Amino acid sequence: MKTAAAHLILFMVLLCPVKVESAGNIDDIRSVVYAWADAWQNRNIQRYVSFYSPEFRSKGLDFNGWLQKKTESFQRPGHIRVEISDLWVFIEDKNATARFIQRYQGPNLSDVGEKTLVLVYSKDQWRIVSEQWTPLAVSAPMTKNQAISLNRQKYNADHPPSETVIWKNKINAGPPNKTSVKSIKLKTAKDHDEVFIALNTFSIPQIQSIEGANPRIIVNINRVSSWSGQDDIPVNGNLIKKIRTYLHPDTEKLRIILDLKHSDDYIIDQTYDRKTNIYSISVR
């Protein structure tokens, strides 16, 4: 996602948890989504179709009807570009949901919207059984940085995090229906920073961005019982220069602010691992 405030994307609430089971994990689904987009962008119909289940249904079409429609679409002349951002994933047993912002640019059409893919795990492979696209109400012209390749959006396993900084919270026993933030961890890699927020229970943070001379990303966690971490934490990230935290005593809302080094276009990915109750936000 680029310049999130301009596209109103980072003002969205992360909608669903992630539960990692033996059928796969978050990275498996992310790899499938990026490979699916790459096959679409390169008009490779055979590879593209391989990501779909014969049980696929969408907008009243069964698999064969949808295949005919896509085959005709892929045969049309002209270059297309498909970009995805703000990807988050939900996995439960052998079912998964991937939701992300999709930007499409073709010879006669350009649009941006939220795409939802529903997948099932069958015969050692995740396959798409349904998809839904909803246009965003507000979109802006694509910037130069938004044209970066999809491969740059993938997690680069060849460049593992070079530095890890951890802040641990002294958790006091509180009401069972309240949230405790156990730690905040920053990992830096060659092309991105990733912040991990470990919780004691399931809680979906709210996220927004602010542009301007002092760009920042704001993460709000509700019903937090206590927080003893530092209020102002300078860090040596590639993009994040400081992490600030503040627990409002009346609203019980913990605000975590990621101060960014410069005003530029950013891609933001969010995930929530239900098994460990760890929320992560990647900035690249």
263 — pLDDT class (breaks 50, 70, 90)? low
**pLDDT greater than 90 at residue 148:** no
Whether 232 and 146 share a structural domain: no
* 59: in domain: yes
Share of the chain above pLDDT 70, in %: 76
pLDDT of amino acid 128: 97
Whether 63 and 193 share a structural domain: no
* 15: in domain: yes
Range of the domain at 109: 9-151
| End-of-domain residue from the set 151, 182, 210 | 151
Count of domains forming the chain: 2
DSSP letters spanning 64-125: HHHHHHHHHHHTS-S--EEEEEEEEEEEETTEEEEEEEEEEE-SS-EEEEEEEEEEEEETTE
**pLDDT greater than 60 at residue 142:** no
Whether 31 and 126 share a structural domain: yes
Whether 244 and 218 share a structural domain: yes
pLDDT of amino acid 174: 54
* 2: in domain: no
* 4: in domain: no
| End-of-domain residue from the set 101, 120, 151 | 151
- Return the CATH number at 45: 3.10.450.50
169 — pLDDT class (breaks 50, 70, 90)? low
* 210: in domain: yes
How do residues 228-256 score in pLDDT, each as one tens digit? Answer: 776 777 787 888 888 888 888 788 888 89
Whether 25 and 143 share a structural domain: yes
How do residues 12-43 score in pLDDT, each as one tens digit? Answer: 333 333 333 334 578 889 899 999 999 999 99
Whether 171 and 202 share a structural domain: yes
* 156: in domain: no
* 3: in domain: no
Whether 213 and 127 share a structural domain: no
Whether 173 and 265 share a structural domain: yes
- Return the CATH number at 267: 2.60.40.3500
pLDDT of amino acid 153: 37
**pLDDT greater than 50 at residue 157:** no
Whether 184 and 264 share a structural domain: yes
Whether 146 and 13 share a structural domain: yes
Whether 111 and 183 share a structural domain: no
pLDDT of amino acid 32: 94
pLDDT of amino acid 17: 36
* 157: in domain: no
Q: Please state the rounded mean pLDDT for residues 79-86.
A: 89
Contact at 8 Å (CB) between 127 and 60? no
Whether 25 and 146 share a structural domain: yes
The predicted model scores a pTM of 0.47
| End-of-domain residue from the set 151, 173, 197 | 151
